[in-house]
Amino acid sequence: MNQEVFAALAEALQQGEEVALVTIVSSTGSTPQRVGAKMLVYADGRTVGTIGGGCYENDAFWKAREAIKSRRPLTLRFELNDDLAQETGLVCGGQMEVFVEPVEPSPELYVFGAGHVGYWVARMAREVAFRVHVIDDREKFANAERFGDGIDVIVDDIPAWLEAHRLPPTAYAVIVTRGHTHDLDALRALAAAPLRYLGLIGSKAKVKRIFDALIEEGVAADVLEGVHAPIGLDIGAITPQEIAVSIVAELIAVKHGKIADPHVAAVSLRWDGALSKR
């Protein structure tokens, strides 16, 4: 049975699906399944495998779906007493501990802009297991030879590409194009998308100008509240490499649930007059 679960888990990761692996990690007394029994739970409610059935499996199922959303593991403890046996028809009278582990594929990162900052963000993010896609309309910057193996480089007009492609809700998007107009175009297309992370580079003044322009166009202000802008953690970054470190550090923090609210955790990145370096 566990082979079926492992095969389903491998396929889910390959397909980019988020799942939770439910495993019996300890048991005493009479229990319907042995230690090591596993069940895979999908975000849409599908399951593969079993940890024994009954209402405790149903409880584990719902807790697993919650774990997928929260992206946090949890441990469940069940007392398989006489009342439970009567309710479920299971003949058991032991205790069982179950570990629920959310499992997600390597996250996809879309870097809009292949300039100096975009280059280093892409290279560093790949080293920490992001699946990286870079989009830019300048073949001089956006080419496989420059970025190297393992990074998907797309030469296309950014607004046109975004109009033709929908990013998955688990995706991370970083807007680091070569100027205000291109940043505005990218954010206009992405602001309302249900993404794991959306960040915009620039000074506070530039971010405000872009936000004001989008609000004037009719974009709801609360939609923009989810944008990490100015992008990156405040580490005093100045060079493109240092700025990329601050951005990738923020991506990692979001990935591991250390940052949830852009208003609380996304702090200013001092870019000053260095915008021309991108």
Q: Which of 190, 196, 200 is nearest to 247 (CA)?
A: 200
Rounded to an integer, the average pLDDT of 56-68 is: 92
pLDDT digits (tens, 9 = 90+) for 115-127: 999 999 999 999 9
Whether residue 121 sits in one domain with residue 139: yes
Whether residue 117 sits in one domain with residue 92: no
Rounded to an integer, the average pLDDT of 90-109 is: 83
pLDDT digits (tens, 9 = 90+) for 183-205: 999 999 999 899 999 999 999 99
Give 92's pLDDT tier (boundaries 50, 70, 90): low
Contact 7/87 with Cβ under 8 angstroms?
Answer: no
Domain that holds residue 201: 108-277
Whether residue 253 sits in one domain with residue 175: yes
pLDDT at 82: 52
Report strand pairing: 74-79 vs 95-103: antiparallel
Rounded to an integer, the average pLDDT of 155-161 is: 95
Domains: count for the chain = 2
Whether residue 260 sits in one domain with residue 227: yes
Phi/psi for 246 (5° steps) reads -65, -35
